[in-house]
Amino acid sequence: MIWSVRSETMARAELERVQAERLVELVRRVYDRVPFYRKKMDLAGVSPDDIRGLGDLAKLPFTTKGELRDVYPDGLLATERRKIVEVHTSSGTTGKPVVDAYTASDIDVWSEVMARALSMGGVTSSETIQNAYGYGLFTGGLGVHYGARRIGANVIPISGGNTQRQLMILRDFGPEALTCTPSYCLYLAEAAREQGIDFATLPLRVGFFGAEPWSDMMRTEIEEKLHILALDIYGLTEIVGPGVAQECPEKNGLHVAEDHFLPEIVDPETAVPLPAGQKGELVFTTLTKEGTPLIRYRTRDVTYLDPSPCRCGRTSTRMHRLLGRTDDMLIIRGVNVFPSQIEEVLLRAEGVEPHYQLVVDRSAHLDTLEVQVEMNERIFSDQVRNLEGFERAISAELFAALGVHAAVKLVEPKSIPRSEGKAKRIVDRRTI
Ligand SMILES: [Zn+2]
Protein backbone atom coordinates (compact mmCIF):
# COMPACT_ATOMS: atom_id res chain seq x y z
CA MET A 1 0.00 0.00 0.00
CA ILE A 2 1.49 3.32 -1.12
CA TRP A 3 0.45 6.37 0.93
CA SER A 4 1.50 9.07 -1.55
CA VAL A 5 1.65 7.61 -5.06
CA ARG A 6 2.63 11.03 -6.44
CA SER A 7 5.68 11.45 -4.15
CA GLU A 8 6.74 7.84 -3.72
CA THR A 9 6.63 6.65 -7.34
CA MET A 10 7.92 9.80 -9.05
CA ALA A 11 10.27 9.16 -12.00
CA ARG A 12 13.89 9.55 -10.85
CA ALA A 13 14.56 12.45 -13.22
CA GLU A 14 11.61 14.37 -11.78
CA LEU A 15 12.58 13.50 -8.20
CA GLU A 16 16.09 14.79 -8.83
CA ARG A 17 14.70 17.99 -10.27
CA VAL A 18 12.60 18.50 -7.11
CA GLN A 19 15.63 17.74 -4.91
CA ALA A 20 17.85 20.18 -6.83
CA GLU A 21 15.28 22.98 -6.58
CA ARG A 22 14.89 22.42 -2.86
CA LEU A 23 18.64 22.23 -2.28
CA VAL A 24 19.27 25.57 -4.00
CA GLU A 25 16.52 27.22 -1.93
CA LEU A 26 17.75 25.60 1.33
CA VAL A 27 21.34 26.74 0.89
CA ARG A 28 20.29 30.32 0.22
CA ARG A 29 17.94 30.28 3.21
CA VAL A 30 20.45 28.92 5.76
CA TYR A 31 23.16 31.26 4.46
CA ASP A 32 20.87 34.23 5.00
CA ARG A 33 19.44 33.17 8.34
CA VAL A 34 21.91 30.98 10.24
CA PRO A 35 25.21 32.66 11.17
CA PHE A 36 26.67 29.22 11.95
CA TYR A 37 26.20 28.14 8.31
CA ARG A 38 27.17 31.49 6.83
CA LYS A 39 30.49 31.29 8.67
CA LYS A 40 31.08 27.69 7.62
CA MET A 41 30.34 28.42 3.99
CA ASP A 42 32.49 31.57 4.01
CA LEU A 43 35.35 29.55 5.48
CA ALA A 44 34.89 26.86 2.81
CA GLY A 45 34.86 29.59 0.15
CA VAL A 46 31.44 28.63 -1.17
CA SER A 47 28.55 31.03 -1.71
CA PRO A 48 24.87 30.23 -2.34
CA ASP A 49 25.42 31.22 -6.00
CA ASP A 50 27.81 28.27 -6.39
CA ILE A 51 25.03 25.77 -5.59
CA ARG A 52 22.93 25.31 -8.73
CA GLY A 53 22.09 21.62 -8.56
CA LEU A 54 22.76 18.22 -6.96
CA GLY A 55 26.18 18.08 -8.62
CA ASP A 56 27.29 20.98 -6.42
CA LEU A 57 26.41 19.24 -3.16
CA ALA A 58 30.00 18.13 -2.48
CA LYS A 59 31.11 21.79 -2.43
CA LEU A 60 29.20 22.30 0.81
CA PRO A 61 30.85 21.74 4.20
CA PHE A 62 29.74 18.89 6.46
CA THR A 63 27.94 19.34 9.77
CA THR A 64 28.97 17.17 12.73
CA LYS A 65 27.25 16.22 15.96
CA GLY A 66 29.95 18.05 17.93
CA GLU A 67 29.10 21.29 16.12
CA LEU A 68 25.41 20.87 16.93
CA ARG A 69 26.31 20.61 20.61
CA ASP A 70 28.46 23.73 20.35
CA VAL A 71 25.52 25.81 19.13
CA TYR A 72 23.12 24.48 21.80
CA PRO A 73 20.35 25.49 22.39
CA ASP A 74 19.24 27.66 19.45
CA GLY A 75 22.23 28.38 17.22
CA LEU A 76 20.74 26.49 14.29
CA LEU A 77 17.37 28.19 14.25
CA ALA A 78 16.56 29.28 10.69
CA THR A 79 13.20 30.83 11.42
CA GLU A 80 11.56 33.25 13.83
CA ARG A 81 11.19 31.78 17.29
CA ARG A 82 7.41 32.32 17.32
CA LYS A 83 7.08 29.92 14.38
CA ILE A 84 8.47 26.99 16.40
CA VAL A 85 5.67 24.71 17.62
CA GLU A 86 7.60 21.77 19.10
CA VAL A 87 11.10 20.94 20.28
CA HIS A 88 12.84 17.56 20.68
CA THR A 89 16.36 16.79 21.82
CA SER A 90 18.70 13.83 21.73
CA SER A 91 19.38 12.10 25.05
CA GLY A 92 22.58 14.07 25.55
CA THR A 93 24.20 11.29 27.57
CA THR A 94 27.66 12.35 26.43
CA GLY A 95 27.33 16.13 26.64
CA LYS A 96 24.87 18.83 25.65
CA PRO A 97 21.89 17.40 23.75
CA VAL A 98 21.24 18.10 20.09
CA VAL A 99 18.12 20.23 19.58
CA ASP A 100 15.58 19.75 16.81
CA ALA A 101 13.01 22.58 16.58
CA TYR A 102 9.93 22.08 14.37
CA THR A 103 7.65 24.60 12.68
CA ALA A 104 4.06 23.59 11.86
CA SER A 105 5.28 22.75 8.36
CA ASP A 106 8.05 20.52 9.80
CA ILE A 107 5.48 18.60 11.87
CA ASP A 108 3.40 18.27 8.71
CA VAL A 109 6.36 16.75 6.83
CA TRP A 110 7.06 14.43 9.78
CA SER A 111 3.42 13.25 9.82
CA GLU A 112 3.56 12.69 6.06
CA VAL A 113 6.77 10.62 6.04
CA MET A 114 5.55 8.59 9.02
CA ALA A 115 2.20 7.96 7.27
CA ARG A 116 4.22 6.68 4.29
CA ALA A 117 6.29 4.48 6.64
CA LEU A 118 3.33 2.91 8.46
CA SER A 119 1.54 2.38 5.12
CA MET A 120 4.53 0.34 3.93
CA GLY A 121 3.54 -2.16 6.60
CA GLY A 122 -0.08 -1.99 5.45
CA VAL A 123 -1.46 0.01 8.39
CA THR A 124 -4.90 1.45 7.56
CA SER A 125 -7.41 3.78 9.19
CA SER A 126 -9.32 0.80 10.57
CA GLU A 127 -6.31 -0.61 12.45
CA THR A 128 -4.80 -0.11 15.90
CA ILE A 129 -1.13 0.59 16.68
CA GLN A 130 0.42 -0.19 20.05
CA ASN A 131 3.11 2.49 20.18
CA ALA A 132 5.76 1.33 22.66
CA TYR A 133 8.35 3.92 21.64
CA GLY A 134 9.00 6.46 24.38
CA TYR A 135 6.94 9.66 24.36
CA GLY A 136 8.77 12.80 25.40
CA LEU A 137 11.86 14.54 24.12
CA PHE A 138 12.79 11.28 22.36
CA THR A 139 11.26 11.46 18.87
CA GLY A 140 10.14 7.81 18.59
CA GLY A 141 6.80 8.07 20.37
CA LEU A 142 5.44 11.26 18.84
CA GLY A 143 6.75 10.45 15.36
CA VAL A 144 4.73 7.23 15.20
CA HIS A 145 1.81 9.06 16.82
CA TYR A 146 1.72 11.77 14.12
CA GLY A 147 1.92 9.20 11.33
CA ALA A 148 -0.90 7.16 12.85
CA ARG A 149 -3.03 10.31 13.18
CA ARG A 150 -2.37 11.25 9.56
CA ILE A 151 -3.55 7.81 8.42
CA GLY A 152 -6.49 7.91 10.80
CA ALA A 153 -5.45 4.73 12.61
CA ASN A 154 -6.16 4.19 16.30
CA VAL A 155 -2.96 4.75 18.26
CA ILE A 156 -2.45 3.46 21.81
CA PRO A 157 0.22 5.79 23.29
CA ILE A 158 1.49 3.29 25.87
CA SER A 159 5.11 4.53 25.50
CA GLY A 160 8.12 2.39 26.50
CA GLY A 161 8.51 0.03 29.43
CA ASN A 162 5.96 -1.46 31.83
CA THR A 163 6.03 -4.90 30.26
CA GLN A 164 3.05 -6.30 32.15
CA ARG A 165 0.83 -3.51 30.89
CA GLN A 166 2.19 -3.93 27.34
CA LEU A 167 1.14 -7.58 27.40
CA MET A 168 -2.28 -6.76 28.84
CA ILE A 169 -2.93 -4.21 26.07
CA LEU A 170 -1.63 -6.60 23.40
CA ARG A 171 -4.04 -9.28 24.59
CA ASP A 172 -7.08 -7.19 25.44
CA PHE A 173 -7.06 -4.53 22.71
CA GLY A 174 -5.71 -6.73 19.91
CA PRO A 175 -3.65 -4.14 18.02
CA GLU A 176 -2.59 -5.09 14.47
CA ALA A 177 0.70 -3.16 14.66
CA LEU A 178 3.45 -2.81 17.26
CA THR A 179 6.24 -0.22 17.38
CA CYS A 180 9.29 -0.54 19.68
CA THR A 181 13.00 -1.34 19.61
CA PRO A 182 13.79 -4.86 18.31
CA SER A 183 15.50 -5.84 21.56
CA TYR A 184 12.47 -4.81 23.60
CA CYS A 185 10.23 -6.76 21.21
CA LEU A 186 12.17 -9.95 21.98
CA TYR A 187 11.92 -9.18 25.66
CA LEU A 188 8.14 -8.84 25.30
CA ALA A 189 8.06 -12.18 23.47
CA GLU A 190 9.95 -13.82 26.32
CA ALA A 191 7.66 -12.33 28.99
CA ALA A 192 4.59 -13.35 26.98
CA ARG A 193 5.76 -16.95 26.74
CA GLU A 194 6.20 -17.12 30.50
CA GLN A 195 2.59 -16.05 30.91
CA GLY A 196 1.35 -18.55 28.38
CA ILE A 197 0.34 -15.88 25.83
CA ASP A 198 0.37 -17.33 22.32
CA PHE A 199 1.04 -14.66 19.69
CA ALA A 200 -0.44 -16.92 17.01
CA THR A 201 -3.87 -16.29 18.52
CA LEU A 202 -3.53 -12.46 18.57
CA PRO A 203 -4.49 -10.10 15.69
CA LEU A 204 -0.98 -8.57 15.73
CA ARG A 205 0.38 -8.81 12.16
CA VAL A 206 3.15 -6.23 11.69
CA GLY A 207 5.90 -4.55 13.72
CA PHE A 208 8.05 -1.47 13.02
CA PHE A 209 11.36 -1.87 14.79
CA GLY A 210 14.19 0.62 14.95
CA ALA A 211 16.29 3.02 17.05
CA GLU A 212 19.12 0.45 17.15
CA PRO A 213 20.87 -1.70 14.54
CA TRP A 214 19.53 -5.25 14.20
CA SER A 215 20.14 -8.14 11.84
CA ASP A 216 18.14 -10.28 9.42
CA MET A 217 18.59 -13.22 11.79
CA MET A 218 16.98 -11.20 14.56
CA ARG A 219 14.15 -10.41 12.15
CA THR A 220 13.56 -14.13 11.58
CA GLU A 221 13.56 -14.68 15.34
CA ILE A 222 10.98 -11.90 15.90
CA GLU A 223 8.79 -13.04 13.00
CA GLU A 224 8.73 -16.62 14.25
CA LYS A 225 8.10 -15.77 17.88
CA LEU A 226 5.41 -13.13 17.28
CA HIS A 227 3.92 -14.52 14.04
CA ILE A 228 4.22 -11.11 12.38
CA LEU A 229 5.92 -9.22 9.56
CA ALA A 230 8.90 -7.37 11.11
CA LEU A 231 10.01 -4.22 9.28
CA ASP A 232 12.94 -1.92 9.89
CA ILE A 233 12.33 1.79 10.49
CA TYR A 234 15.05 4.44 10.53
CA GLY A 235 15.33 7.97 11.77
CA LEU A 236 17.32 10.26 13.98
CA THR A 237 16.42 13.28 16.08
CA GLU A 238 18.76 15.59 14.18
CA ILE A 239 16.97 14.99 10.87
CA VAL A 240 13.30 14.60 11.89
CA GLY A 241 12.95 11.49 14.11
CA PRO A 242 11.54 8.21 12.76
CA GLY A 243 10.31 8.23 9.17
CA VAL A 244 13.56 9.24 7.47
CA ALA A 245 13.53 5.76 5.87
CA GLN A 246 11.33 2.67 6.06
CA GLU A 247 11.50 -0.87 4.81
CA CYS A 248 8.71 -2.18 2.57
CA PRO A 249 7.57 -5.85 2.63
CA GLU A 250 10.15 -6.66 -0.09
CA LYS A 251 12.75 -6.40 2.71
CA ASN A 252 15.52 -5.27 0.41
CA GLY A 253 16.51 -2.01 2.05
CA LEU A 254 14.74 1.01 3.54
CA HIS A 255 13.09 3.56 1.24
CA VAL A 256 14.54 6.98 2.04
CA ALA A 257 12.00 9.85 2.00
CA GLU A 258 14.34 11.44 -0.51
CA ASP A 259 12.13 14.35 -1.48
CA HIS A 260 12.73 15.67 2.07
CA PHE A 261 16.03 14.11 3.18
CA LEU A 262 18.84 13.92 0.64
CA PRO A 263 21.19 10.99 1.40
CA GLU A 264 24.90 10.56 0.57
CA ILE A 265 27.48 7.97 1.57
CA VAL A 266 31.01 9.14 2.40
CA ASP A 267 34.20 7.41 3.45
CA PRO A 268 34.21 7.69 7.27
CA GLU A 269 37.95 8.43 7.32
CA THR A 270 38.41 10.81 4.38
CA ALA A 271 34.82 12.14 3.98
CA VAL A 272 35.07 11.57 0.21
CA PRO A 273 31.63 10.80 -1.32
CA LEU A 274 31.28 7.15 -2.41
CA PRO A 275 29.22 5.75 -5.29
CA ALA A 276 26.00 3.76 -4.79
CA GLY A 277 26.61 0.28 -3.45
CA GLN A 278 29.72 1.17 -1.45
CA LYS A 279 29.65 0.98 2.32
CA GLY A 280 30.34 4.13 4.28
CA GLU A 281 28.94 6.79 6.58
CA LEU A 282 25.42 8.03 5.87
CA VAL A 283 25.08 11.81 5.42
CA PHE A 284 21.81 13.76 5.17
CA THR A 285 20.76 17.20 3.98
CA THR A 286 17.27 18.24 5.13
CA LEU A 287 15.76 19.65 1.93
CA THR A 288 12.52 21.07 3.30
CA LYS A 289 13.12 21.64 7.00
CA GLU A 290 12.35 25.13 8.34
CA GLY A 291 13.14 25.07 12.08
CA THR A 292 16.63 23.60 12.30
CA PRO A 293 17.76 22.62 8.79
CA LEU A 294 20.99 20.67 8.38
CA ILE A 295 23.45 20.58 5.53
CA ARG A 296 25.44 17.38 4.94
CA TYR A 297 24.98 16.07 8.46
CA ARG A 298 27.28 13.15 9.28
CA THR A 299 25.07 10.58 11.03
CA ARG A 300 27.88 8.15 12.02
CA ASP A 301 25.60 5.36 10.77
CA VAL A 302 27.19 2.91 8.38
CA THR A 303 25.25 1.56 5.39
CA TYR A 304 25.14 1.69 1.56
CA LEU A 305 22.60 3.02 -0.92
CA ASP A 306 20.75 1.17 -3.70
CA PRO A 307 18.93 3.38 -6.26
CA SER A 308 17.68 0.44 -8.37
CA PRO A 309 13.87 0.15 -8.72
CA CYS A 310 12.07 -1.79 -5.97
CA ARG A 311 9.47 -4.42 -6.78
CA CYS A 312 6.98 -2.53 -4.60
CA GLY A 313 6.83 0.26 -7.21
CA ARG A 314 8.47 2.99 -5.14
CA THR A 315 11.28 4.85 -6.91
CA SER A 316 13.21 6.21 -3.91
CA THR A 317 16.76 5.14 -3.12
CA ARG A 318 16.94 2.40 -0.52
CA MET A 319 19.51 2.30 2.26
CA HIS A 320 20.62 -1.13 3.41
CA ARG A 321 19.67 -1.86 7.01
CA LEU A 322 22.29 -0.32 9.30
CA LEU A 323 25.56 -2.20 9.38
CA GLY A 324 26.62 -0.35 12.52
CA ARG A 325 27.86 3.01 13.67
CA THR A 326 31.24 4.57 13.11
CA ASP A 327 31.40 5.18 16.86
CA ASP A 328 30.14 1.66 17.72
CA MET A 329 32.57 0.04 15.38
CA LEU A 330 35.01 -1.99 17.41
CA ILE A 331 38.57 -2.09 16.23
CA ILE A 332 39.90 -5.40 17.50
CA ARG A 333 43.57 -5.84 16.71
CA GLY A 334 43.18 -3.56 13.73
CA VAL A 335 40.11 -5.31 12.32
CA ASN A 336 36.83 -3.39 12.03
CA VAL A 337 34.07 -5.33 13.75
CA PHE A 338 30.42 -4.32 13.98
CA PRO A 339 28.18 -5.80 16.69
CA SER A 340 25.61 -6.63 13.98
CA GLN A 341 28.09 -9.06 12.35
CA ILE A 342 28.49 -10.88 15.65
CA GLU A 343 24.74 -10.95 16.12
CA GLU A 344 24.26 -12.62 12.73
CA VAL A 345 26.54 -15.47 13.77
CA LEU A 346 25.01 -15.87 17.21
CA LEU A 347 21.47 -16.06 15.90
CA ARG A 348 22.47 -18.78 13.45
CA ALA A 349 24.10 -20.86 16.19
CA GLU A 350 22.34 -23.78 17.86
CA GLY A 351 21.37 -23.61 21.50
CA VAL A 352 21.67 -19.88 22.15
CA GLU A 353 19.23 -17.01 22.68
CA PRO A 354 19.41 -13.55 21.03
CA HIS A 355 20.69 -11.94 24.24
CA TYR A 356 24.38 -11.16 24.25
CA GLN A 357 27.03 -8.77 25.40
CA LEU A 358 30.46 -8.04 23.96
CA VAL A 359 33.29 -7.46 26.42
CA VAL A 360 36.40 -5.87 24.96
CA ASP A 361 39.55 -5.73 27.03
CA ARG A 362 43.28 -5.57 26.59
CA SER A 363 45.69 -8.18 27.86
CA ALA A 364 49.45 -7.90 27.35
CA HIS A 365 48.84 -5.04 24.86
CA LEU A 366 46.55 -7.22 22.78
CA ASP A 367 42.83 -6.56 22.37
CA THR A 368 40.60 -9.36 23.54
CA LEU A 369 36.96 -9.89 22.64
CA GLU A 370 34.70 -12.02 24.77
CA VAL A 371 31.22 -12.74 23.50
CA GLN A 372 28.85 -13.60 26.32
CA VAL A 373 25.68 -15.19 25.06
CA GLU A 374 22.79 -16.86 26.82
CA MET A 375 22.21 -20.56 26.23
CA ASN A 376 18.61 -21.60 25.77
CA GLU A 377 16.67 -23.54 28.39
CA ARG A 378 17.12 -26.81 26.53
CA ILE A 379 20.93 -26.69 26.50
CA PHE A 380 20.97 -25.33 30.03
CA SER A 381 18.99 -28.24 31.44
CA ASP A 382 20.62 -30.92 29.31
CA GLN A 383 22.41 -33.36 31.64
CA VAL A 384 25.08 -34.38 29.17
CA ARG A 385 25.69 -30.90 27.79
CA ASN A 386 29.04 -30.19 26.33
CA LEU A 387 29.30 -26.45 26.84
CA GLU A 388 32.92 -26.21 25.82
CA GLY A 389 32.15 -27.92 22.55
CA PHE A 390 29.34 -25.42 21.88
CA GLU A 391 31.55 -22.48 22.78
CA ARG A 392 34.34 -23.67 20.50
CA ALA A 393 31.94 -24.19 17.61
CA ILE A 394 30.51 -20.66 17.90
CA SER A 395 34.01 -19.22 18.28
CA ALA A 396 35.04 -20.92 15.04
CA GLU A 397 31.98 -19.46 13.28
CA LEU A 398 32.85 -16.00 14.58
CA PHE A 399 36.42 -16.34 13.33
CA ALA A 400 35.16 -17.32 9.90
CA ALA A 401 32.84 -14.29 9.78
CA LEU A 402 34.99 -11.60 11.41
CA GLY A 403 38.57 -12.66 10.89
CA VAL A 404 39.39 -12.14 14.55
CA HIS A 405 39.42 -14.55 17.42
CA ALA A 406 36.64 -14.14 19.98
CA ALA A 407 36.26 -16.16 23.15
CA VAL A 408 32.69 -17.34 23.57
CA LYS A 409 31.19 -17.75 27.00
CA LEU A 410 27.79 -19.34 27.37
CA VAL A 411 25.94 -17.84 30.29
CA GLU A 412 22.77 -18.89 32.09
CA PRO A 413 19.38 -18.01 30.64
CA LYS A 414 18.28 -14.47 31.63
CA SER A 415 21.65 -13.41 33.04
CA ILE A 416 22.34 -10.68 30.45
CA PRO A 417 20.66 -7.42 31.55
CA ARG A 418 17.44 -6.70 29.59
CA SER A 419 16.69 -3.27 28.21
CA GLU A 420 13.38 -1.49 27.76
CA GLY A 421 14.94 0.82 25.21
CA LYS A 422 18.15 0.52 23.29
CA ALA A 423 20.18 -2.54 24.29
CA LYS A 424 23.65 -1.97 25.68
CA ARG A 425 25.70 -4.54 23.83
CA ILE A 426 29.27 -3.43 24.35
CA VAL A 427 31.39 -3.24 27.46
CA ASP A 428 34.75 -1.77 26.53
CA ARG A 429 37.25 -2.09 29.37
CA ARG A 430 40.27 -1.00 27.38
CA THR A 431 42.15 1.97 28.74
CA ILE A 432 44.03 3.61 25.94
ZN1 LIG B 1 10.00 -1.28 -1.84
Question: Higher pLDDT residue, 349 or 423?
Answer: 349
217 has pLDDT over 70? yes
Q: What angle do CA 253, 209, 93 make, to 5 degrees?
A: 110
- The confidence band for 385, taking pLDDT boundaries of 50, 70 and 90, is confident
Cα of 251 vs centre of ligand 1, distance in Å, is 7
Cα of 224 vs centre of ligand 1, distance in Å, is 22
Cα of 46 vs centre of ligand 1, distance in Å, is 37
What pLDDT shows up at residue 129?
98
244 has pLDDT over 90? yes
104 has pLDDT over 90? yes
Average pLDDT over residues 216-241: 95
What pLDDT shows up at residue 283?
98
- The confidence band for 233, taking pLDDT boundaries of 50, 70 and 90, is very high
pLDDT tens sequence across 355-369 = 899 999 988 777 889
Cα of 258 vs centre of ligand 1, distance in Å, is 14
Cα of 257 vs centre of ligand 1, distance in Å, is 12
What pLDDT shows up at residue 344?
86
What pLDDT shows up at residue 432?
55
Cα of 338 vs centre of ligand 1, distance in Å, is 26
27 has pLDDT over 80? yes
285 has pLDDT over 70? yes
Cα of 2 vs centre of ligand 1, distance in Å, is 10
β-bridge mates for residue 361, sequence order: 368
Q: Which residues, by Cβ under 5 Å, contact ligand 1, an ion? A: 248, 250, 310, 312, 314
Cα of 240 vs centre of ligand 1, distance in Å, is 21
377 has pLDDT over 70? yes
Cα of 226 vs centre of ligand 1, distance in Å, is 23
What pLDDT shows up at residue 330?
81
Mean pLDDT in the chain?
Answer: 93
422 has pLDDT over 80? no
76 has pLDDT over 60? yes
Cα of 209 vs centre of ligand 1, distance in Å, is 17
Cα of 315 vs centre of ligand 1, distance in Å, is 8
What pLDDT shows up at residue 119?
98
Average pLDDT over residues 183-188: 90
Cα of 348 vs centre of ligand 1, distance in Å, is 26
Cα of 318 vs centre of ligand 1, distance in Å, is 8
What pLDDT shows up at residue 120?
98
What pLDDT shows up at residue 94?
64
Comparing 95-104, 233-242, 348-357, which segment has the lowest mean pLDDT?
Answer: 348-357
Cα of 316 vs centre of ligand 1, distance in Å, is 8
Average pLDDT over residues 215-225: 92
Question: Higher pLDDT residue, 243 or 352?
Answer: 243
Cα of 120 vs centre of ligand 1, distance in Å, is 8
Cα of 66 vs centre of ligand 1, distance in Å, is 34
Percentage of the chain with pLDDT > 70?
A: 99
Cα of 278 vs centre of ligand 1, distance in Å, is 20
What pLDDT shows up at residue 428?
85
